[in-house]
Structures are given as structure tokens and as C-alpha cells.
């Protein structure tokens, strides 16, 4: 707003407000009377507003940014700034690790379930599941039962229906089967007696490559109720025998070898309390008679007798 004077247009000086309303009629309010008080309507001198604005009622200087006399508004506080989250790419290394752990865990659980099912099977069921195995106990009992006109234990050479034999009459002495690996043929009559005790007899053709012979030997050597020897006139490179069972194979790498051993070793025994130690350790196809063998078992007394 401007005021027109004789000297030209002048800008009206600013008026300092005391924070109190002037009473009606232009009279000064209480507390404004006295020295320096000017009647209402009197213009302030130029520059006086600036001086007045810089002082408080007590003469103290007002800090910058605050209104005088305590009548001003408090300064507004800034709101805290929310931190901005920076999106990072996926950690493929961690994801791959979690996936690998999951696969391994599933495999362990699956194998555990399979093992439980397998362990719950009877040994006869495990044997029957082996591809190519022949169960002579069912298919040809005559190959397992004592020979016609002969007892279970017979002296001298015997002729067997199957090569290698899986049962029938045999010598009174057994072949030692404490993981023995024989490098020459042994007598069938002693070997069959070992089968009766629960041994697995691993046989092979004499021309089987040396590395395969050693692979077979590694499954036998040092394992009780196991023995191994070459056999004459064998129609397959490898043949496995237990009492009443046989499996013929072409290679020592065939996984069915382990399956046969696991299912039938000791399980196929006809004498559960028999041992494999103390038997014949010599090689040769002629049986050795008059060698101490099985002793007659004493009858078990009845309970309470």
C-alpha cells in the first residue's frame, strides 16, 4: 500500500505489533501509556520498526528463527526419513545349495524306506527276486536230497546230478569255509558238506581273466561261511552255490553276486549251529576219508526233565 504525499509516492512504514489489540476509539491499551507511547494513528519513524523487531520486551536479543515475546509458533520438526531398501538380485548359490540338500535328503529318505522294506523280507523272498537264480529245492528236490540208496554222509567218491553240486549226499568232513580262496579244484564231497553248514561256494572256470578272479576273491577272502575255487568243465564263467540254490553268470562285475551272497550266506544252512572252521584245507578232487567231521548231536532233554 502506498501513500501519496507532496514529495511523491512513499511506502508506508511497517508497524510493529505488540501482540495486543488496540481498544476501540484509538486509545492506547493499558501498559502502553507513558513515555514513548504515541497516539493511535501516528506514523512510526522510518527504521524504528527494524529496531523494535530485533528486541524483546526485556531487551534481550531474540534467537534467530524464533518470534519475539514467546508469541511465535514453534518450529516444525522434520519427519525421519525412511531408508530406501535397495532390491538385490537372487542368490543363485544359496538356491542351488538348498536344492542340492533337498535332493540328498529325499534320496536318503527313499533309500531308508527301501532298506526297511528289504529288511522286512524273508531271505527266501530276497533269493527269489534275484534274476536267473535256480531254486532246486522246488524245481528238482532230487538234486538236494540224499542219493538213492545212500545216506546223508557217505565215504568215497560220489557222482552228482548237477555241476557244481548244490546238495545231496556228501563226505563226513567239510571243506574249510572261513573265507578260504583255493587256487585249485577241491572235492565236491567236502564242498557240499560246507553248503550244508550254510556256506556260499563261489566257483569259476580256470580260464577266467586274472582281474576277474581277484574281484571274486575280494568278496570271499576273510569272510566266514564263504569259500572259492576253480571247477572243471564249468559251462559258464562263474557259478555261485548255496544249499539248494545256484546262479550262473558271465562276469565278476555282475551285481547279482552280492545279492546272492547277502540273501543266502548262512541263511540257506541245514545246520544252523554248524561251523565253517576246522574243515579240510587241502585241494584235490578226491575226497579224504577217515577225517574227523560232524559229531553225532546229543538229543536235547525235554523241558523240565
Kindly indicate the confidence band of residue 101, based on its pLDDT and cuts at 50, 70 and 90.
confident
User: Higher model confidence: residue 290 or residue 51?
Assistant: 290
pTM comes to 0.60
pLDDT digits (tens, 9 = 90+) for 10-24: 555 555 555 555 555
Give residue 260's pLDDT: 98
**What pLDDT is recorded for position 278?**
95
Looking at residue 76, its pLDDT comes to 67
CB 179 within 8 A of CB 226: yes
pLDDT of residue 78: 73
Kindly report, residue by residue over 213-239, the tens digit of the pLDDT: 999 999 999 999 999 999 999 999 999
pLDDT tens digits for 44-75? Answer: 454 444 444 444 444 445 454 454 444 556 66
The rounded percent of the chain whose pLDDT value lies above 90 is 55
Residue 140: the pLDDT is 97
pLDDT tens string 172-213: 999 999 999 999 999 999 999 999 999 999 999 999 999 999
Mean pLDDT of 134-138: 98
Q: Are 179 and 224 in contact (CB under 8 A)?
A: yes
> What is the arithmetic mean of pLDDT over 240-267?
98
Amino acid at each position: 500500500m502506498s501513500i501519496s504525499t507532496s514529495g511523491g509516492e512513499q511506502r508506508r512504514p511497517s508497524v510493529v505489533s505488540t501482540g495486543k489489540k488496540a481498544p476501540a476509539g484509538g486509545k492506547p491499551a493499558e501498559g502502553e501509556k507513558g513515555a514513548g507511547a504515541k497516539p493511535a494513528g501516528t506514523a512510526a519513524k522510518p527504521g524504528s520498526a527494524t529496531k523494535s523487531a530485533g528486541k524483546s520486551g526485556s531487551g534481550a536479543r531474540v534467537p534467530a528463527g524464533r518470534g519475539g515475546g514467546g508469541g511465535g509458533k514453534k518450529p516444525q520438526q522434520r519427519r525421519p526419513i525412511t531408508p530406501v531398501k535397495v532390491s538385490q538380485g537372487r542368490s543363485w548359490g544359496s538356491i542351488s545349495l538348498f536344492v542340492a540338500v533337498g535332493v540328498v535328503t529325499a534320496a536318503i529318505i527313499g533309500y531308508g524306506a527301501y532298506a526297511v522294506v528289504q529288511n522286512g523280507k524273508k531271505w527266501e523272498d530276497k533269493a527269489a527276486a534275484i534274476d536267473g537264480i535256480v531254486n532246486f529245492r522246488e524245481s528238482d528236490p532230487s538234486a538236494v536230497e540224499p542219493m538213492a540208496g545212500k545216506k546223508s554222509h557217505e565215504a568215497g567218491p560220489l557222482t552228482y546230478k548237477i555241476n557244481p553240486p548244490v546238495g545231496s549226499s556228501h563226505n563226513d568232513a567239510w571243506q574249510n569255509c572261513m573265507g578260504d580262496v583255493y587256487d585249485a579244484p577241491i572235492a565236491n564231497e567236502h564242498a557240499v558238506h560246507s553248503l550244508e553248514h550254510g556256506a556260499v561256494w563261489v566257483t569259476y572256470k580256470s580260464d577266467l581273466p586274472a582281474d576277474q578272479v581277484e574281484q571274486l576273491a575280494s568278496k570271499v577272502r576273510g569272510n566266514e561261511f564263504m569259500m572259492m575255487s576253480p571247477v572243471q568243465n564249468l559251462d559258464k564263467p562263474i557259478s555261485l552255490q548255496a544249499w539248494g540254490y545256484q546262479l550262473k553268470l558271465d562276469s565278476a562285475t555282475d551285481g547279482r553276486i552280492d545279492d546272492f551272497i547277502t540273501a543266502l550266506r548262512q541263511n540257506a544252512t541245514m545246520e544252523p549251529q554248524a561251523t565253517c572252521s576246522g574243515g579240510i584245507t587241502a585241494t584235490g578232487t578226491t575226497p579224504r576219508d577217515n577225517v574227523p567231521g560232524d559229531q553225532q548231536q546229543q538229543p536235547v532233554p525235554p523241558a523240565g526233565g
